Structure 1
Amino acid sequence: MPVSSHPDRERAPIIFGHKTALAILRSAAPRTLPPVAGRARVLPGRAPARGEVEAAIGHLEAAYPDLRLERPAHVLVGSTALGRPSKAAKAHSLTVPLSGASFYRLGDGVFACMPALSFVQEAARGKSLVALLELGYELCGTYRTRRTGAATAYGVEPLASVKTLCGYVARNASVDGARKVSRALRYLAGGSASARETKQALVLGLPHRHGGYGLGIPRMNYEVRASRAAEALTGKKSFRMDLCWPERKLDVEYQSREWHEGEASRVSDSRRANALMSMGWTVVGVTNDELDSFAATEAIAQTLRRHLGKHSQIRTSDYHARKLELRRHLGLPMGYE
């Protein structure tokens, strides 16, 4: 739904960026918005006035009833004339040339950065590697949280893909934050269905120097075609793996309380596991409580390491401390219970 313009006066364009743009795009369905390439025809030479920003936000919130933007909103300026900060907006300078499409047009004179540029901007704000990866997994996953400015929901459309993020930073390497994103992309996977799956993938997959178990980043919600016998057992033509290493036929299923309660779910899980084992797959279940337990996670990681044929060669002297630090960054308990 386009945002109406102000016919009574001319005003400079307003370009929302950073997490403000992500919050807008969660409500605005990016596939319905026209993209705008480059920067010269869009970015204003001055920061918008408080009244201009509030008017634009008012029109956006009227167009998208579930949208409620936090203040100050993040806006972009194509010069160093950022003006005085206000409660309505925080201005950021963007003066380097941009290659390819970087903005969506929301209405006359109102734009939002595309997710790839917003991701780069968030990286430039000094986010830790772990925080940046959690944001990236959410952008490329099928869930959302307050991290992208919206109420928690599952089964939503991804805002980006690993491929589009890679392509954007390759074309715009001079944008502040692009180099940091490039380093993070090697640990990013698309398709995560929840924040907890993301945490599990990072704990298991990140290398030792970052506090992970060094098992390699798994494929997320990877689809495997069922054999005839497996289809006969389950009635399903394919299976989706929460976290898997397909080259070793290893599947890790995150058994959340929401989706794995009740006798019917247990029967379904059992049939699924038996069907996959008939196809040569190993299925390892991980519960909420096990992910929250440092000792249980250690044991599960060792089991997975054996199935993956990986040797535990720790060359990081403070590895134990780094594992605890990673869990702290992810908001996971660090005790042994």
Structure 2
Amino acid sequence: MALMQMARGLGVAKTALLVDQVLGTYRACRPEAIESYGQIEGVSIEGCADECGAATAYGLSPLTTIDRLSNYLDTMAGAPGARSVRRSLPLVADGLASPLEAQTYALAFCSRHTGSLGLPKPLVNHRVEVPIEARGCFGSAYIRPDFWWPEQRVALEVLGVRWHDGAQGITQTSMREKGYYAMGASCITITEREIRMLSSFEAAMAVLAKLLGVKLRPPTKAFEKMRGQLRTEVLDVRPAR
């Protein structure tokens, strides 16, 4: 009910980003709630960008799933906000672990009718067993790629500042790329800056499409308009001209 109330008046993409937090392992939290989140075992907090901004808590358990949410919306059809949440479901995924993952998913892996690129849907933060020869690179017997296509053995890792910045983050990212190679898989990475720049984002997605064995469809005028609207709402940026 709270989600439905919060969705009232929001656009489809903004609602989707809100729903992704309910389905995923992170939450935006106001400054006054940081202390409460910080007391939960295993949760880490990324601080506010400013005094009025929202911090992000990581490592939380999902509150529901798409299927359970969809069933609930069926029972609440006609209630205020139910239609808004329902319209956002084509842009959401279970198990996303960061705001950047949610933005990438909406922009790349959803229907072209929404303005997304329509690339094949990946597994999200799916557990992948690591062969012995690659464990030295990953430091673990299993990994959870941000996005994973098991048939093509392709991973996409979204490089947020929190986990990949600084000397340690750069080293870990480099070792993970070698690990994917050692296990006979391909991995490409994308940064927040690349996601926000249309030309860089679509260049990276063209490389991903090639690895997946698909082709990006050339944009029509109608698609360019929808893409611009989606990016504006997802990234808070003006449409590219």
TM-score by length of 2: 0.78
Matched residues in 1 for 2:77 and 2:176: separation? 45
2:202 equivalent in structure 1: 298
1:190 equivalent in structure 2: 94
1:145 equivalent in structure 2: 28
Contact residue 23 and residue 66 of structure 2 kept, 8 A: yes
2:10 equivalent in structure 1: 127
Q: How does 1:40-51 map to 2 (within 5 A)?
A: none
1:128 partner amino acid: G
Percent of aligned pairs sharing the same letter: 28
1:61 equivalent in structure 2: none
Q: Which of residues 59, 83, 94 is equivalent to 1:155?
A: 59
Contact residue 243 and residue 253 of structure 1 kept, 8 A: yes
What is the number of residues matched between the two proteins? Answer: 218
1:118 equivalent in structure 2: 2
Distance apart, 1:245 and its partner CA: 2.8
Alignment deviations for residues 88-127 of structure 1 (CA, whole Å, 9 cap, x no partner)? xxxxxxxxxxxxxxxxxxxxxxxxxxxxx3333444x243
1:223 equivalent in structure 2: 127
2:138 equivalent in structure 1: 234
Distance apart, 1:163 and its partner CA: 3.2
CA change 1:237–1:202 in 2 (3 A) is: same
Alignment deviations for residues 166-188 of structure 1 (CA, whole Å, 9 cap, x no partner)? 23224444544445534433432
Matched residues in 1 for 2:193 and 2:217: separation? 28
Contact residue 92 and residue 105 of structure 2 kept, 8 A: no
1:319 equivalent in structure 2: 223
Distance apart, 1:213 and its partner CA: 0.8
- Compare relative contact order (CA 8 Å, sep 6+) and give the higher one, 1 or 2: 2
Unmatched 5+ residue regions in structure 1?
1-116
2:233 partner amino acid: H
1:212 equivalent in structure 2: 116
Contact residue 219 and residue 244 of structure 1 kept, 8 A: yes
More helix by share: 2
Contact residue 207 and residue 216 of structure 1 kept, 8 A: no
Structure whose alpha-carbon radius of gyration is higher: 1
2:73 equivalent in structure 1: 169
Distance apart, 1:229 and its partner CA: 1.3
Distance apart, 1:315 and its partner CA: 7.7
CA change 1:172–1:273 in 2 (3 A) is: same
1:255 equivalent in structure 2: 159
Matched residues in 1 for 2:238 and 2:210: separation? 24
1:12 equivalent in structure 2: none
1:277 equivalent in structure 2: 181
1:228 partner amino acid: I
Q: CA RMSD in A?
A: 2.6
Matched residues in 2 for 1:331 and 1:268: separation? 27
Instruction: Please list every run of at least 4 consecutive aligned residues from structure 1 whose deviation after the TM superposition is greater than 6 angstroms.
Output: none
Alignment deviations for residues 8-66 of structure 1 (CA, whole Å, 9 cap, x no partner)? xxxxxxxxxxxxxxxxxxxxxxxxxxxxxxxxxxxxxxxxxxxxxxxxxxxxxxxxxxx
Matched residues in 2 for 1:128 and 1:138: separation? 16
SS at match of 1:241: coil
Contact residue 189 and residue 219 of structure 1 kept, 8 A: no
Matched residues in 1 for 2:220 and 2:82: separation? 28
CA change 1:313–1:289 in 2 (3 A) is: closer
Unmatched 5+ residue regions in structure 2?
34-53
2:46 equivalent in structure 1: none
CA change 1:162–1:273 in 2 (3 A) is: same
Distance apart, 1:332 and its partner CA: 4.5
2:3 partner amino acid: F
